[in-house]
Amino acid sequence: MSSLPTPADRRPRESDLPDDPMQRLIAVMAWLRHPVHGCPWDLKQDFASIAPYTIEEAYEVADAIRRRDVRDLREELGDLLLQVVYHARMAEEAGDFDFKDVAQTIVNKMITRHPHVFGEAQVEGDEHQSGVWEQIKAAERSARQAAGGSDGASSVLDGVALALPALMRAEKLQKRAARVGFDWGAAGPVIDKIEEEIGELRAEVATKAPAARLQDEIGDVLFAVANLARHLKIDPEAALRATNDKFERRFRHIERRLQASGRTPESASLEEMEALWQEAKTAAPG
C-alpha cells in the first residue's frame, strides 16, 4: 500500500494534500479509507457494494451528454473518475494493483489497438478500423485464455459483460455472432422474425399462458427488435431513451391540461386523455 500523504497520528488537513489534481484525488481517497481517521461509510464498502454507484455515475455522464449540459458533464465525469479511484484504492489495499497500474494498462491497450496511429499499419476508414479493433480484441481474449490455462472452450461471445443493460447486451451478442456468419444479410428477414415472435406471443396470451412463458416470448420479441436496430445501424438503447422522453413530454402535457381545469388524470376518462395525447403529438410531432 502506498504511504499516506500525512502522518497517521492526526487527521489530514487540506494543506497536506498534493497540488496535482489527480494526485490530490488519490490522496483524498486514501484518507477516506484510512482505518483510523477515515469515513465509516467509505471503510465499509467493497467492490460489490460500490459497483452500483459506478454504473449509476456512468449513466449520469451519458445523461449530461444527452442534455448537452457541459457544466453537469464536467461534474459527472469527476464523479465517474472518483469511482475508478475508489476501486483502485480498494485493490491497492488488497495488494492487487493500484491506480498507476490501471492507467498503464489502458495506455498499453490503446497503443496496441491503434497500430495505425502508433505503428505503421494503414486503415481505410472508420469501418475498417472497427474491424481491425475487433480482430485485436479477439486476439487479446485468446491470449488471456491461453495464459490462464482455461480448459473451457473459447467462444466469440466471451467478454460480453453480464452487467450490461439488456438491450445493449443483446446487440453486442448479435454483433459477435454476426462476425462468424450467424446473421441475416438484410433487415427484411429480421422484420419477418419480429412478426413471427409477436405471433407466438399473441398465441401464448390467448391461451392464458403462465408468466414464465409470457416472459420468454416477450424476451424473444425484444431480442428480435434489438437485432433489427443493429441491422438499421440504430442504437436500441438510444432509441428507447428517446421514446421514453417523448412519452414523458406527452403525458406531462395531459397532466398540465387537466390541471388547468382543476382535474387530475384519475378523474379523466381514457378517451379524454387520448384526445389530449393527440393534441400533444400535433403540438410537438416526433
Q: What is the DSSP string of the chain?
A: -PPPSS-TTS---GGGS-SSHHHHHHHHHHHHT-TTTS-HHHHH--HHHHHHHHHHHHHHHHHHHHHT-HHHHHHHHHHHHHHHHHHHHHHHHTTS--HHHHHHHHHHHHHHT-HHHHSS---SSHHHHHHHHHHHHHHHHHHHHHHHT--SPP-TTTT--TTS-HHHHHHHHHHHHHHTT-S-SSHHHHHHHHHHHHHHHHHHHHTT--HHHHHHHHHHHHHHHHHHHHHTT--HHHHHHHHHHHHHHHHHHHHHHHHHTT--GGGS-HHHHHHHHHHHHHHS--
Q: Considering the domain boundaries, does residue 267 fall inside one?
A: yes
Q: Summarize pLDDT for 31-58 with one digit per residue, the tens.
A: 999 998 899 999 999 999 999 999 999 9
Residue 1 confidence (pLDDT) above 50: no
- State whether 161 and 217 are in the same domain: yes
Residue 211 confidence (pLDDT) above 70: yes
- Structural domains of the chain, count: 3
pLDDT of residue 124: 78
- State whether 22 and 62 are in the same domain: yes
Q: Summarize pLDDT for 124-181 with one digit per residue, the tens.
A: 777 677 777 677 777 776 676 666 655 566 788 888 888 888 999 999 999 999 988 9
From 78, 96, 112, the end of a domain falls on 112
Mean pLDDT in the chain?
90
Residue 6 confidence (pLDDT) above 70: no
- What does the pLDDT average to over 105-131? 83
Q: Considering the domain boundaries, does residue 132 fall inside one?
A: no
**Banded model confidence at residue 187, pLDDT cuts 50, 70, 90:** very high
- pLDDT above 90 covers what percent of the chain? 68
- State whether 253 and 172 are in the same domain: no
- What does the pLDDT average to over 184-212? 96
Q: Which domain holds residue 48?
A: 14-112
pLDDT of residue 153: 67
Q: Considering the domain boundaries, does residue 140 fall inside one?
A: no
- State whether 216 and 179 are in the same domain: yes
From 215, 234, 253, the end of a domain falls on 234
pLDDT of residue 275: 96
